[in-house]
Amino acid sequence: MATGLVYAQAAENEAAAASGFKMIGAGMAIGLAGLGAGVGMGTASAAAIGAMAEKPETFSKSLIYIVFIEAIAIYGLVIAFMIMMA
C-alpha cells in the first residue's frame, strides 16, 4: 500500500496516478476483507469449539459457518485482482 501512495503522489501524469490509486484500492480491498474475516473467524471459531465441546454433533454446522466467513476474505482477494486488472 505504501508503494501505491508513492506512485500516486509522485505522479507527473494521470496514468501513473491512476496506477498508484489502483494499488491503494486493491490493498485496501484485501486488507479490510482479511481483517474482517479474521475477526469473524476468531469469534465464530471460539464459539464453535465451545459448542462442539458440549455437543460433538454440531461439527458440520460449525464448519459451514467458518467456511462462509472464509469466503469473505476470498471475495476481497477477487475484488483486489479485479481492481488491478481494470
Q: By three-state DSSP, how is residue 55 classified?
A: coil
Specify the pLDDT at position 83. 92
pLDDT in the model for residue 86: 82
DSSP output for 42-84: HHHHHHHHHHHHH-GGGHHHHHHHHHHHHHHHHHHHHHHHHHH
Question: What is the pLDDT, as a whole number, of residue 10?
Answer: 53
CATH number of the domain encompassing residue 27: 1.20.20.10
Number of domains forming the structure of the chain: 1
Per-residue pLDDT of the chain (86 residues; tens, 9 = 90+): 556 555 555 556 666 667 778 888 999 999 999 999 999 999 999 999 999 999 989 888 888 988 999 999 999 999 999 999 98
Q: Are 22 and 86 in contact (CB under 8 A)?
A: yes
Do the beta carbons of residue 5 and residue 20 sit within 8 Å? yes
Domain limits for position 39: 2-85
